[in-house]
Amino acid sequence: MTANAMVELSDALAGAVERAAPSVVQVAAPRRGSGIVWREDLVVTAAHVVRSDEARVRLHDGSERAGTVVGRDLATDVAVLRVEGDAMTPLAFADASHLKVGHLALALGRPGRNVRASLRMIGVIGRDLPTRAGARLPLWIETDRGLPSGFSGGPLVDAQGAAIGMSTDALVQGADLALPRDVLERIVDEIVAHGQVRRGWLGVAVHPVRLPHGLADQLAQKSGALIVGVEEGSPAHRAGLVLGDVIHAIEGTPIRGPEDLVSALRTRIDASLEIGIVRALQLESRTATTVTRAA
């Protein structure tokens, strides 16, 4: 790369920071992290930063405002704050469909008074990732190195200063990820409308288990979800599910283990479901009506 090309790249990255900086805020609730101006009166940040119902938000001009926590979703590490005062400047988001592994990006944060930037490369663009708290991410982005301290909740931006996603270091052990706009938008809309992300709840604890060969061949699947706990009064309890039952299907969709069960229940809120089980080596079915439960 020539010296002129390096200067042009350097200027382009500095310009990207300048364009995005007015929409990157500091969040203290009471831990300090970063946040993204999502709407003129809303800030999105990482849920693990928010430990109280109130927050202080420091803007680009150094002023501080009071914020109220609209809601949090620990399963996806997203929190939404409503901020008092004049309209803020929302951050523009890029079309993630054009993003490629190898593209340069900047993680931005405001752990102190000033915006900070960290240059990195898009290392992975993945799909269908289970998180430690039981959610599944339909799309996620990982860069080539970890986030600096205080950057969680801030944006990952492209070379034009448009946001690629919200950065978090708390979703998957050993990985710092960015949640793209499509994923964030669904979560934020749920939190704004309901104060939480609603998920269907059955009331069982399960472990993966291999099915006996005969049943595995009959069902065309090798494993299921063994029930090791049933909460008293839960939909599962009312449906007659008991310890030792193996869930192999919900509404005809194969359940091969805990992750499949979480995925099957995620969008089935207050729904009557046919649950296929194995009990004493026999195939049976039960009907359970899920209830809404925040993750």
Residue 152 designated active-site: yes
pLDDT of residue 285: 96
Chain region(s) in the chain for CATH 2.40.10.120: 1-190
Q: What is the pLDDT of residues 187-197, one digit of tens each?
A: 999 999 989 88
Which one is catalytic: 23, 34, 118, 152? 152
Under CATH, to which class is 1-190 assigned?
A: mainly beta
Which one is catalytic: 77, 169, 176, 245? 77
Are the C-beta atoms of residues 78 and 191 closer than 8 Å to each other? yes
Least confident among 128-137, 155-164, 239-248: 128-137
Which one is catalytic: 23, 48, 245, 260? 48
Q: CA-CA distance, 154 to 176, in Å (whole number)?
A: 12
Residue 48 designated active-site: yes
What percent of the chain lies above the pLDDT cut of 70? 98
Please, which residues bridge with residue 122 across strands? 143
Query: Is a pLDDT exceeding 60 seen at residue 295?
Result: no
Q: CA-CA distance, 63 to 50, in Å (whole number)?
A: 20
Residue 63 designated active-site: no
Chain region(s) in the chain for CATH 2.30.42.10: 199-294
Query: Is a pLDDT exceeding 90 seen at residue 20?
Result: yes
Q: What is the pLDDT of residues 92-118, one digit of tens each?
A: 999 888 899 999 999 999 999 999 999
- State which fold the 199-294 domain adopts: Pdz3 Domain (2.30.42)
> Against a cut of 0.85, is the pTM above it?
no
Helix intervals (H) in the chain: 3-20, 181-194, 213-219, 235-238, 258-266
Phi and psi of 3, rounded to 5°?
-60, -40
